[in-house]
Amino acid sequence: MPQAGNTFTIGLTMAGAVSAGAYTAGVLDFLFAALAAQDERDPQENDLRVVLKAMSGTSAGGVCTALAVPALINGVRPFHPGEPSLPILHRLWVEELDFLGDDARPGLVSDSDLSGPHLLSVLNGEAIEAAAGRVLTGVEWTGSTYPFLARDLDLFVTCTNVSGVAYCIPFDSRRPAVGHLMANHAFVGHYRLTGLGTADIGSPWLDIWRDAGVPLELPQAATPHAPARIDFHGEGTGWDSLRRMSIATGAFPFGLAAKPVGATGSHLGVLDPAAGAMSCGGAWPLEISPEARPLPLRHSCSASFGFVGVDGGMCNNEPFEIVRYCLRASDPEHPWKLLQNPREPEKADRAVIMIDPFPEGPDGAISQTVEDADLAMVRVLAALKATLLNQARFKPEELVAAIDDTGRSRFLISPSRDGKHGAKALASGFLGGFGGFLDESLRAHDFALGRHNAQSFLKKHFNLAQVHRDFGKLPGGREVNGDMESPILRLPDRLAADIPQPEWPRLNIERIQDLLEATRHRVAKVSARAMREVWRGRLWQSVFRAFWTGVGRAKFTRWLERTIISELIARDQVRELSSAAQSGSRAGAEAEVRRAALAALMAPGPDLRTVDGLAAQTGLSAADVQQALQRKPEHPLFEIWQGAEHKGRATFCLRRYSPRVTGQLPGLRHLHAWALGGVTYDIAQSR
């Protein structure tokens, strides 16, 4: 069933990203600017009109999904290379969320959250809520509408329900309440904004399930001369619920504080007679009759309940299928079935665009053998977390559909820069995605890269066949792999001029050391609080406090410090190590060797390394490593200390991490093994 007229309908899915939400925000910034500029094109040409019907997101993607609404209400600014088109998204992701913060805003490693009765998270979750409150203050609607939005714009934000919702599978029709119980922990908050868009595009899937979502009500009689303010803190309103859900979806387990989430049976699809037999959630992305679906236990349409909500990415890090079902057309021959979205380049009339800053996913390597050590209890337990997460996110239906690589019903926007992709192209692509919170310059880069990649995607990849079954012959055709294709969203001239790739950001050592000092302060506060809560007895508290203060905390903070600095060095994000290469005093290749060797020395691991060990770790030749170790240090932090030979090989480490006592007495280097007794060497020593 084709769309009415020359309308191409899209849905957006935004994956989890932690601090790389800045990249997702940048993609949205350019994409919405391009959608808003469609009326600037030549009306004489047979251009498609692209309309957005639905958005879904989880974790950082869920935050972007939720904040896109107030950003649109506030107005899409005309595109300018140096200014954001959606200031709210830029302000939150680039300016507000930071490790250090300042006097006006708490940072993620500040301690303003530690005065409560319980330790809630490793990082300061209050900083997230405070930032959301600041950017949502003063959002006003002037009454303006957008032709590129569906009149009913559907938003889906996921989170993980820690306790879960119980369902029963009966095996005896005579006793329907007796059967196999299972719990669903994946919660989806469905919200519907009506009136901001004007395009009349519905969703048969949601109609079949009678799911109208939680209403987001716009103020009445808003005008440019008398704009109406949106209250995101109004108790019991859809706006307050959306704000709360946007925080809960990003509550990274342990890292950020879990959040209480309130719901009713209607959120789970239990029909509410008072609402005209419509629910405010609960549609399942399955082709089954809604009447045949199982209902949750112990919940009714009027019962309210609460649960602890954490990161939506725990269960579904890419809620792609929700938006895909939202776009599907109805099957006129069956009351509850849906048609597949057309995939062929000459037939596709709707598509889901996924924005995924980290598309790499799990390591695809298959183990050839199983060693005895692999069966050890500790190693199996350590691997189970990734196993359960990956299985929860595995989607066979989407995998099968993706086999058709010519399909135009699904697209992906992911980071790309200088031949690097995914995390390697992002300035925030380290520390499990938390790296961007170290400094605003890292997030600013990723936001700008998102705009750059979004423009490239629309110009080069978001195409259909030039001659289309329903749309006729489209303008702007060009040959792609032997076929003539045309862009689905053709950019006006002012948006088509190439956006330059942002400069790669680098931090200086002083900034890094300030960050590390603040982090050490947070670690000390959190660890002391954790010991008080976990170990209630005074004796146990004294024992573990003595151990942690004397040994554990120093080892942990050193491990954290070395991890952060080594990753920054390896990614060429330390200014002192890049300035020499840029000035031409060393060739670029030599600078890369130097960085690789220093990153290996800095990384947690053996106390002392050999040239052979470093060569094996970095993939460099022993001669290159030896030469890199002999260079004059660019900063005292990178001064290299040479220890005594071990099994005929010289040993090295950074002076900052040299063995105690003997590290300060060069004349006694050969005594370091005796002095410590626990010095470790890299694996190359066993050859």
List the catalytic residues. 59, 311
How far apart are the C-alpha atoms of 543 and 669, rounded to whole Å?
34
Residue found under tokens 């859809």: 238
Q: Within 13 A of 274's CA, how many CA atoms are on the CB side?
A: 6
Q: Any residues with CB less than 8 A from the CB of 577 and at least 6 apart, and which?
A: 569, 591, 594, 595, 598, 634, 638
Q: Cα 188 to the chain's mean position, in Å?
A: 17
CA angle, 339 then 345 then 349, to 5°? 45
How far apart are the C-alpha atoms of 557 and 466, rounded to whole Å?
58
How far apart are the C-alpha atoms of 309 and 306, rounded to whole Å?
9
Residue 139 in contact with residue 229, Cβ under 8 Å?
yes
* Selection from 130, 18, 31 nearest residue 71 by Cα: 31
Q: Cα 182 to the chain's mean position, in Å?
A: 29
Pairing verdict, β 463-465 and 420-421: unpaired
Helix (H) or strand (E) holding 675: helix 672-676
Torsions phi, psi for 313 (to 5 deg): -70, -10
Helix (H) or strand (E) holding 353: strand 350-355
Q: Any residues with CB less than 8 A from the CB of 584 and at least 6 apart, and which?
A: none
* Selection from 189, 195, 190, 204 nearest residue 152 by Cα: 195
How far apart are the C-alpha atoms of 495 and 30, rounded to whole Å?
9
Burial 254-277 (b: 16+ CB within 10 A, else e): ebbbbbebebbbbbbbbbbeeeee
SS3 state of residue 339: coil
Helix (H) or strand (E) holding 479: strand 478-480
Strand partners, 464: 486
Q: Within 13 A of 562's CA, how many CA atoms are on the CB side?
A: 20
